[in-house]
Structure 1
Amino acid sequence: MTIRLIVVDDDPLVRAGLTLMLGGADDLEIVGECADGAEVPALVDRTGPDVVLMDIRMPGVDGLTATERLRARPDGPEVVVLTTFHADEQVLRALRAGAAGFVLKDTPPAEIVAAVRRVAAGDPVLSPAVTRQLMAHVAGKAGGQDREAARRADAATRLAALAGREREVALAVGRGASNAQIAAALYMSVPTVKTHVSRVLTKLGLNNRVQIALLVHDAELSRQPADRLGESGRSAPGGPRP
């Protein structure tokens, strides 16, 4: 399957370089490019991309605003933001807006191609563990203690609305566990784990696993021991673990 891609960056040299690099992959097709976030909605409507590579800083409508608008659409394309900083509160805002992750502009070409493929397959290009590190780094710069406390309280309230197994799966996602790891820890099948993840996304109004990880981190629940995925710490079905 060919992955349809558009590139959004105000630097024509960056656009040309990305287009040349990504266009060389057999399964990627560059279907459009533009220099401003204001042009993105119309370009998406015309070309129907699977993935948008989005620069953050642009002189007109910035990439963060454009990302929020795209991800608010019912069937909006996945977004990977481009940045020159690996720990930037603007990147955190993009993740909260529903971006599937971010790549640095100096990332090796093969890794950018791999990131696009992963996003198109439904996997974030930023692991939950790295997301938590990013958030911890930015937290000291992003507002005062009152704001932090309000965010933690809101996250805890939202997670409390999940059913028991859903909450256990959400906590595991928050610790960076893969579907296979969650299945082994909770004695589920991988398809069952995927079903629970989908339900968590729907109930919480989120777009991807990265946002689940951010919410869990906000609530500070990801610090629970690995063998106690839920508040009750109950054993998995079928009795105690061997």
Structure 2
Amino acid sequence: MIKILVYEDNPQLREGLTLLLGGSENLKVVGAFANPANIVSDCASLAPDLILMDIDMPEVNGIEGLKRLREVNCSIKVLMLTVFDDNQRVFEALRSGANGYILKKTPPAKLLEYINDANSGGAPMSSTIATQVLQMFSSFSTPPAENEEDYNLSERETQVLQLLVNGYSYKMIASEMFISIDTVRSHIKKIYEKLHVNSKSEAVAKAFKGNLFR
């Protein structure tokens, strides 16, 4: 059972999400609030596995709420669910520790799929968002310096990292490389250790910053 916490200021949408998620066999909504002003205490008392977070909310917006949470907890999965698909908000959310970025127009069945994907270690994004992310990181890429650090990634680890950059979930990587999901997790753990990062978004940013795919 995946325990979900929802932050959405629109009461109709908040109720709709609660009904949709609560009607799924493996999902349970443990709380639904109009903003994340109390996100740290909410998470401490409700112990969610995953948070669905709007961005544009009164008092405390979703990105600020995400930053507050990440100061004390990096294990809870956070999916930004929003109408915004502009580059600045997407990048700020991912840089602040979001595990995925989904548009509100996403069909209900696809939303449920994204939630399960994120809970399994994936980083789901709406297709238009994934395209923007790749374009953004490409534009931030700079030529390698002479003293550029060698992260010592193996050929397989480099391949896994490239698929992560392309937006693949753990399951998709396993299928693409004909390996088990446990092997994918093992590769990703080693990638994080070698790159000195703790999340997919950090790994992707470092991959582009270091021009690891030239």
Q: TM-score range by the shorter chain?
A: 0.7 to 0.9
Structure 1 portions without partners, runs of 5+: 141-147, 225-242
**Deviation per residue, 1:54-102 (Å, 9 max, x gap):** 0111121211121123234345310000111234311221112221111
What is the match of residue 120 of structure 1? 119
**Length-normalised TM-score, structure 1:** 0.71
Structure 2 portions without partners, runs of 5+: none
**Which structure 2 residues correspond to residues 36-55 of structure 1 after superposition, within 5 A?**
36-55=35-54
2:124/2:167 contact within 8 Å kept: no
CA distance in 2, matches of 1:152, 1:110: 42
Q: Which amino acid aligns with 2:198?
A: L
Q: Quick one: structure 1 residues 202 and 37, their matched pair in 2 at CA, closer, same or farther if it must change by over 3 Å?
A: farther
CA distance in 1, matches of 2:181, 2:75: 27
CA distance in 2, matches of 1:65, 1:152: 32
1:55/1:63 contact within 8 Å kept: yes
CA distance in 2, matches of 1:130, 1:104: 8
Q: Quick one: structure 1 residues 133 and 4, their matched pair in 2 at CA, closer, same or farther if it must change by over 3 Å?
A: same
CA distance in 1, matches of 2:175, 2:126: 14
2:81/2:104 contact within 8 Å kept: yes
Match of 2:173 among 172, 179, 189: 179
**Length-normalised TM-score, structure 2:** 0.79
Larger deviation, residues 126-135 vs 109-118: 126-135
What is the match of residue 59 of structure 2? 60
Q: 1:45 offset after TM fit, Å?
A: 0.9
Q: Quick one: structure 1 residues 117 and 172, their matched pair in 2 at CA, closer, same or farther if it must change by over 3 Å?
A: closer
What is the match of residue 78 of structure 1? 77
Larger deviation, residues 190-199 vs 123-132: 123-132
2:163/2:173 contact within 8 Å kept: no
1:173/1:213 contact within 8 Å kept: yes
CA distance in 2, matches of 1:106, 1:7: 17
Larger deviation, residues 175-184 vs 21-30: 175-184
What is the match of residue 186 of structure 2? 195
* RMSD between superposed Cα atoms in Å: 3.2
What is the match of residue 106 of structure 1? 105
1:87/1:138 contact within 8 Å kept: no
**Deviation per residue, 1:174-206 (Å, 9 max, x gap):** 34565336746xxx8764443221122244223
Q: Secondary structure at the match of 2:80?
A: strand
Q: 1:129 offset after TM fit, Å?
A: 10
Larger Rg: 1
Give % identity. 29
Match of 1:206 among 193, 198, 213: 198
CA distance in 2, matches of 1:28, 1:193: 25
2:125/2:167 contact within 8 Å kept: no
What is the match of residue 3 of structure 1? 2
CA distance in 1, matches of 2:90, 2:143: 20
Instruction: Give the number of aligned pairs.
Output: 207
**Which structure 2 residues correspond to residues 223-234 of structure 1 after superposition, within 5 A?**
224=214
CA distance in 2, matches of 1:76, 1:181: 25
Q: Quick one: structure 1 residues 168 and 161, their matched pair in 2 at CA, closer, same or farther if it must change by over 3 Å?
A: farther
2:51/2:79 contact within 8 Å kept: yes
